[in-house]
Amino acid sequence: MRRPVSFLAERYAQSLYRAAFAVCRSPQDAEDVVQETLLSYFRSDKQFETDEHIRAWLIRVAVNKAKNATVCFWRRNRRSLEDYIDALTFEDAADRDLLDAVLRLPERYRIVIHLFYYEDYSIRELAGLLNLSEGAVKSRLSRGRQQLRRTLTEEWDDEEP
């Protein structure tokens, strides 16, 4: 099964962008990753069983390309994460605190938390996407949640008079 790239771009671009942004934390890099991912699909001759199989393949490619983008030389010499967060708009301060805390997580936790909560992947699906065991995914989710809880609790405790 093959779908036109225009169909996939319309249907999955936002999901690919969010997954890439969770890894590389750069709007520009995330946009590039989406384009490169769709180009990889276009160039491949791979046949897929279902639309869900296509989506999983696209997410896996996007995550890998985003990881590659984070290690290039010029990427390491850019503006800080705070500059990007300041450029985003939030409905309330809690949303900003949560995004800041999620983006500060180590990559291994940030990716699984993003894909689980924002992309609605199950633990089994995440295990397949990330080439991990289900136990490893559960462990990373648990540890990521613990770090988020600790970070947010510390921030809220510091704000109290």
- Rounded to an integer, the average pLDDT of 85-109 is 77
Q: What is the pLDDT of residue 82?
A: 59
Expressed in percent and rounded to 5, the helix, strand and coil fractions of the chain are 75, 0, 25
Q: How would residue 18 be classed by pLDDT, with cut points 50, 70 and 90?
A: very high
Tell whether 143 and 106 lie within a shared domain.
yes
Task: Tell me how far apart the alpha carbons of residues 35 and 82 are, in angstroms, rounded to a whole number.
Answer: 25
Last residue in a domain, options 52, 78, 104: 78
Are 2 and 71 in the same domain? yes
Domains of the chain: total: 2
CA 127/CA 121 separation, integer angstroms: 10
Tens of pLDDT, residues 20-55: 999 988 898 899 999 999 999 999 999 999 999 999
Q: Are residues 70 and 98 in the same domain?
A: no
Domain harbouring 151, CATH code: 1.10.10.10
Q: What is the pLDDT of residue 97?
A: 76
Residue 146: alpha-carbon gap to chain centroid: 19
Average pLDDT score over residue span 134-161: 85
- Give the residue from 50, 78, 106 where a domain finishes: 78
Same domain, 3 and 66: yes
User: Is residue 84 in a domain?
Assistant: no
* Amino acid 74: pLDDT: 56
104 and 137 within one domain: yes
Q: What region does 50 belong to: left with phi over 0, alpha with psi -120 to 50, or beta? A: beta
Co-location of 29 and 9 in the same domain? yes
Query: What is the CATH classification number for the domain harbouring 49?
Result: 1.10.1740
Q: Output the six-digit token pair for 6.
A: 């225009």
Domain ranges, residue 37? 1-78
Domain boundary among 36, 51, 78: 78
- Collapsed DSSP state (helix, strand, coil) of residue 3: coil
- In a shared domain, residues 102 and 142: yes
Residue 99 in this model has a pLDDT that exceeds 60: yes
Label residue 17 by pLDDT band (50, 70, 90). very high
Q: What is the pLDDT of residues 49-90, one digit of tens each?
A: 999 999 999 999 999 999 988 776 555 555 555 565 565 666
